[in-house]
Amino acid sequence: MSIFLLQSIFLLLLCFVVGYLIARFIKRKLYNRAVLKTASNVSDNEGRTQPVSTATPAIGSSNEAEFYTSIKPDNLQIIEGIGPKMESVLNENGISTWSQLATKTVPELQAILGKYGNRYQIIDPTIWLEQVKLAAAGKVDDLINLQKIDGVSKLENMMYQGRRSGFAKYKQDDLKIVEGIGPKIEVLLGNAGIDTWQQLSVAELSSIKAILQAAGPRYRLATPESWSLQARLANNGEWSKLKEIQDKLRYVRPNQVEPETAEA
């Protein structure tokens, strides 16, 4: 390969990298400008460290109605830039609700991220704060519009996935969202102290089988092996994965009759 060709390839790669970095810089500047503009409209009297109310606001739009029925309360992953690993990092440092995150300052968040190495030190948490303030205040439409400035809205996509997958009809911690659990098994689990998705997600399979065993022969037909996984996906708002698993279960056992519906 000639030196001229190598130089040409190198220049093309250099131009691509420089162009990408410039585009990212401009995009981030536009996003931060939108964040500042939105912040000034949230509340004229609101201070950055002022506690945010945790009361559920009155529902005023279809987006807000869907938000409260399909999104887990205080799910930090609705914030652009926060995924499962980042949410775990925040949880480890005492931040598990929208209100708790909204009261933090950028330096405080940078100090937390700095404890986890270079990979986290380069993250700019500035964009989190105005998003989470809108979430804590129940300003769903404003949050969606803010996220759309940077392309698409992560929150809107999460709500769409829930609606598309058919899970929006279930309220938070409704165990019947799990394939294989109906009203009577839900009562059995509730009587045994398992009445939330989180509790079911960590319940031992042997414990669940013991509950079903004690309830009588018809409940021993149930197959609870996937219940904890389904509950974990519901608890995390991973609706597309939950639907995929449930579709497979229905394909494998299409004619299975749930124990509680087999009663005469």
Do residues 110 and 100 lie in contact, with contact meaning Cβ atoms separated by under 8 Å? no
Query: Locate tokens 């949230």: which residue?
Result: 42
Percentage of residues in the chain having pLDDT higher than 90: 42
The pLDDT assigned to 169 comes to: 76
Note if the pTM is more than 0.95: no
Q: Which residues contact 189 (CB under 8 A, 6 or more apart)?
A: 175, 181, 195, 200, 208, 211
**pLDDT digits 0-9 by tens, 105-135:** 999 999 999 999 998 989 999 989 999 999 9
**pLDDT digits 0-9 by tens, 234-244:** 888 787 788 88
Sorted by where each begins, the domain ranges of the chain are: 3-164, 175-262
